[in-house]
Structure 1
């Protein structure tokens, strides 16, 4: 797949909500990392070409879950790319080495994500290459967070609140993809791990949510891990509050299932995977509300 085109570099909207005609499922799907609209000023400041920057995307994840609105659940997509701003982090989770000026005390500079170069504003892309030619100013981080991060999370909160208000509970699917390379994505016997379900080790959703998801996905022939190596990012931790009726489940899909990771082209299995994720949406949306409402 080519690098971002000129038409994909102008961000007119921060996010997109694909809403059903009527919401009939107590469920919200979010795709925070599938955006591919690269601001020109970001591309100018980057030392990497567009194709390399795209390696950080969860490419096509929004497409994989595109059936959600037809099934009765809203789909929220970030339109900005992960290499520019990561919505699945704290608002101010930043590496001080990236900035020419000092950072305020409220900034989280010591998280494992920052140490890995993958804070709210990433220092590196997925393969570890440095993104920027030079250092940034903290004012740039503030501007990005105000312009992109905060509106995305305000929209996500509104969708969750609306679902909870309407149905008494909400299941949030935070959808992602993971690279196929590396031992972390393989089981001990060497088999590929197709999907990782994360519920922050049981704190982000009722057991019936992850149990139901795992049972369905295994019935389709997928190998499924729980919480290893991905237990759930900021979105899962922050919004997953089962006692209030909000249940968050992160899903990581092995890219090797549906795309060529070198060329970023779709593979023939993608439509089948999308059908299975549509069934997952329907199945999680049909869980007995009595098991999920606020307590």
Structure 2
């Protein structure tokens, strides 16, 4: 089956002119290039299908390569393929053919309709008119998913080779979290799999940057870090991974997906964060491994 992205890149690596720090930024859910074939397969209108996007996150972090750190960003949308899942985390009800035991069909993410190929977008809206074929899954997973992760692994390996340590910043956005009782929901959620994927001093630094801007920051609840954070975060081997979730209401209208009047202010705050990450003393990071406790799910 020919790739839906045969005539355009499904993702891109944006490299700095000179690599100055071991930091890699990853924006896997901000893609907004919807193939015509995919749009013909969906029952949703052009705005509804976009509700799963981490809209504009790649633009919030776009200064990273200019400041000396690479960024990997998806052009394919999350509703089409989610690279923050296991490679074959598939819902058997979505496919014409039966799925064998080699597929992970029973994860909580699959049950929620949010596997590698999602069944629904936000608010539990079904994506497809008809069931898919396994050839469609193979085209997306073998043709895009695996090359995407190979590119991400390559960037982390380059950082390790150059600096002896690597730091993955996994960039995401989240729907606004409602207040609980008399407490407002967080503006930012930092995920380090409950202290297992990243040096504590790094998480502390990121939290301080956001709280100093007047934002409310939570750790690991409700987002502890997905597949990328869990897979690449190995502090004992010199690779740290931190997931950052930014509440969408801070910089955009969640209904229309249009940027709001605060977009530039949030972008400048993220630029300050990037500066701080790039300015880290590498040896300090090496000397602060995360505790080797088991991450809670």
Does 2:121 align with 1:125? yes
Does 2:148 align with 1:152? yes
Q: Match of 1:135?
A: 131
How far apart, CA to CA, are the structure 1 residues paired with 2:207 and 2:230? 19
Which of residues 77, 94, 104 in structure 2 aligns to 1:98?
Answer: 94
How far apart, CA to CA, are the structure 1 residues paired with 2:228 and 2:181? 29
User: Does the CA contact (< 8 Å) of 1:9 and 1:37 recur in 2?
Assistant: no
* 1:244, distance to aligned residue in structure 2 (A): 1.2
Q: Match of 1:259?
A: 252
Unaligned runs of 5+ in 2: 290-297
* 1:257, distance to aligned residue in structure 2 (A): 0.4
User: Does the CA contact (< 8 Å) of 1:28 and 1:172 recur in 2?
Assistant: yes
Q: Secondary structure at the match of 2:273?
A: helix
Which of residues 44, 47, 52 in structure 2 aligns to 1:48?
Answer: 44
How far apart, CA to CA, are the structure 1 residues paired with 2:183 and 2:122? 23
Deviation per residue, 1:141-166 (Å, 9 max, x gap): 11110111111111111111001110
| TM-score, normalised relative to structure 1 | 0.93
How far apart, CA to CA, are the structure 1 residues paired with 2:183 and 2:201? 29
User: Does the CA contact (< 8 Å) of 2:192 and 2:242 recur in 1?
Assistant: yes
* 1:225, distance to aligned residue in structure 2 (A): 0.4
Gap change, CA 1:246 and 1:213, over 3 Å in 2: same
Q: Match of 1:212?
A: 205
Unaligned runs of 5+ in 1: 1-7
Does 2:184 align with 1:191? yes
* 1:188, distance to aligned residue in structure 2 (A): 4.9
User: Does the CA contact (< 8 Å) of 2:232 and 2:241 recur in 1?
Assistant: yes
Q: Match of 1:236?
A: 229
How far apart, CA to CA, are the structure 2 residues paired with 1:83 and 1:134? 15
Q: Match of 2:69?
A: 73
* 1:11, distance to aligned residue in structure 2 (A): 5.5
How far apart, CA to CA, are the structure 2 residues paired with 1:59 and 1:11? 23
User: Does the CA contact (< 8 Å) of 2:25 and 2:71 recur in 1?
Assistant: yes
In angstroms, what is the RMSD of aligned CA positions?
1.7
User: Does the CA contact (< 8 Å) of 1:11 and 1:38 recur in 2?
Assistant: no
Which of residues 275, 278, 290 in structure 1 aligns to 2:268?
Answer: 275
| TM-score, normalised relative to structure 2 | 0.92
User: Does the CA contact (< 8 Å) of 1:194 and 1:223 recur in 2?
Assistant: yes
Equivalences, count:
285
How far apart, CA to CA, are the structure 2 residues paired with 1:158 and 1:49? 37
Gap change, CA 1:9 and 1:26, over 3 Å in 2: closer
Which of residues 52, 55, 62 in structure 2 aligns to 1:59?
Answer: 55
How far apart, CA to CA, are the structure 1 residues paired with 2:180 and 2:51? 24
How far apart, CA to CA, are the structure 2 residues paired with 1:242 and 1:11? 39
How far apart, CA to CA, are the structure 1 residues paired with 2:103 and 2:23? 32
* 1:9, distance to aligned residue in structure 2 (A): 8.4
